[in-house]
Amino acid sequence: MTHVFDEATAVEQVSPGVFRAHTHPAYNNMVGPFGGITAATVVTALQHHPQAQGDPLSMTLNYAAPIAEGAWEIAVTVLRTNRTNQHFTFLISQNDGPVASGTAVFGTRRDTWSDTEYDFPSVGAPEDYAEQEFPEFIAWPRNYEKRFVEGGLNDITGPQPSSTTTLWLRDRPGRDLDYPALASIADAFFPRVFLRRGTYLPAGTISLTTYFHATAAELAEQGDDYLLGTASAARFGHGHFDQYGQVWGRAGTLLATTHQLVYYKDPQG
Amino acid sequence: MTHVFDEATAVEQVSPGVFRAHTHPAYNNMVGPFGGITAATVVTALQHHPQAQGDPLSMTLNYAAPIAEGAWEIAVTVLRTNRTNQHFTFLISQNDGPVASGTAVFGTRRDTWSDTEYDFPSVGAPEDYAEQEFPEFIAWPRNYEKRFVEGGLNDITGPQPSSTTTLWLRDRPGRDLDYPALASIADAFFPRVFLRRGTYLPAGTISLTTYFHATAAELAEQGDDYLLGTASAARFGHGHFDQYGQVWGRAGTLLATTHQLVYYKDPQG
């Protein structure tokens, strides 16, 4: 049986470097698909490119317009292949109009001196925190088991002093972690402005950048276990905020860091 | 008299959407130009695009190969213009070969609820810290007055426990801050691995993303005063590390946040 994530991120090469994908109702957001599933589909397409070498190191995806229900295309260009890394650009279109664009770098990982300098957040075990669900009208979070340590959905009852969310999460049903899944999870934090304003607001990612620190061996070690995500915003203003986030493996490995710029509309001004 | 930064970032439109720029010896790095001056030149070109609307909100620039001394071209595509933002893609080439690529979003800033959640770093006045210079063989830092609060060049004498650098800096000679200058300063932190390994190593930015939080009025308020920059790395490993940074105005305004992925070569393995 195919996992719903694999159904949603499936791509088919329809001409050299051009891949067709389809929106999947299970990953719908309020308007259009969840940005994380689009990012995951892009990673899948890049990995399927016949010239792809190495594993994802970084990806930036700019969301220019909502993707409508149905088929969409991603056109991948291999810009340059160096000895240890490979640069891609890509354009996402639907009905011949551009809806998103971005760049990515794949690379080979050499053994070097290494250290994770940031600390693993001080949290209890996943089982110490109750599961929480998003409101019924948002589909995509149902594909993740979410156990909030702080800044959960139950706190969206009034303005909060902190935009930080920290949670344990994993695919539901379980699925072994890979780069597309990590790309999706890096965008699985709800908009930080919900916490600060204490209410749901129109908000959407404009630009998402994720750095994949995980090696293939670290992904394999993680398997389908819980991941720890944490995210916060530095500045809100003039209709935009940034979000900086980290995704850690259960064993304390920093698998990804991510940064995004988000649009919001605040009816109270 | 033209400021050296304006000389180095000058662009000329040579055909619709295609701009020519030139490397400038004052902004040379160890190999090729300083990445910040390339980013600044891209912002300048985008601002000169006849269809550009609004101010820079975000930019991602992927460095695929060193730019050689001389002329280079940036081809800008306006991907989509929405009501409140505008999406660009761009390709940098030299002698008909691609050397860099990226995306950017410009936007209009509406009045909304606003808050800067991160704290301004706890530091003394710029004058409390002595100026420091980079080694003679690196040109570009001479264009910045640098007063390190922590993690300065004088600490590159042996492995340090922290990758954090915090410094006051400003253009030398003085120049009023604008978006190109902010783009350059967001990349003005030397590679974090120098501190952790306690020595200079081959290292270079692969992908740079900067979010411009500053409004035009905030840039004007800043003028040519000192900026406070702070940056650190979360994880080093397998030849790559990330850097997260912030650029603050003298008055405590968070002007930009930035994230980059950096390649490094560690001879000790």
Residues A189/A203, Cβ–Cβ less than 8 Å: no
Q: What is the mean pLDDT of residues A56-65?
A: 98
Hey, is the C-beta of B85 within 8 angstroms of any chain A C-beta? Answer: yes
Residue B268 has pLDDT above 80, yes or no: no
What single-letter amino acid sits at A226?
Y
Residues 6 or more apart whose Cβ sits within 8 Å of residue A215: A55, A109, B237, B238
CB within 8 Å: B118 and A235: yes
What pLDDT is recorded for position A268?
66
Q: Taking all residues of chain A, what is their mean pLDDT, rounded to a whole number? A: 96
Residues A162/A151, Cβ–Cβ less than 8 Å: yes
Hey, is the C-beta of A116 within 8 angstroms of any chain B C-beta? Answer: yes
B194-248 per-position pLDDT tens digit: 999 999 999 999 999 999 999 999 999 999 999 999 999 999 999 999 999 999 9
Closest CB to B239: pick one of A112, A162, A238. Answer: A112
Q: What is the mean pLDDT of residues A228-249?
A: 98
CA dihedral in degrees (A100, A248, A78, B258; nearest 10)? 70
Q: What is the mean pLDDT of residues A107-132?
A: 96
CB within 8 Å: A254 and B269: no
3-state secondary structure at position B240: strand
In A17-46, the residues whose Cβ lies within 8 Å of chain B are none
Nearest to A4 by CA among A35, A39, A28: A28
**B264, closest residue in chain A (CA to CA):** A112
Residue A259: CB atoms within 10 A of its CB come to: 28
Nearest to A102 by CA among A33, A48, A42: A42
For chain A, percent of residues with pLDDT exceeding 90 = 92
> Can you give the C-alpha Rg of chain B in angstroms?
18
B88-98 per-position pLDDT tens digit: 999 999 998 99
What pLDDT is recorded for position B137?
85
Residue A269 has pLDDT above 70, yes or no: no
What pLDDT is recorded for position B269?
53
Residues A19/A74, Cβ–Cβ less than 8 Å: yes
CA dihedral in degrees (B143, B198, B255, B211; nearest 10)? 110
Chain mean position to CA A216: 18
What pLDDT is recorded for position A136?
83
Residues 6 or more apart whose Cβ sits within 8 Å of residue B109: A237, A238, A239, A240, B54, B55, B215
ipTM for this prediction: 0.97
Q: What is the mean pLDDT of residues A51-70?
A: 97
Q: Taking all residues of chain B, what is their mean pLDDT, rounded to a whole number? A: 96
- Total-model pTM: 0.98
Nearest to A267 by CA among A190, A201, A195: A201
Interface test with A, best of B117, B215, B268 (most A CBs within 10 A): B117
A169-217 per-position pLDDT tens digit: 999 999 999 999 999 999 999 999 999 999 999 999 999 999 999 999 9
Q: What is the mean pLDDT of residues A5-27?
A: 98
Q: What are the helix (H) ranges across chain A? A: 4-8, 35-48, 179-185, 192-197, 216-222
Nearest to A211 by CA among B186, B234, B105, B91: B234
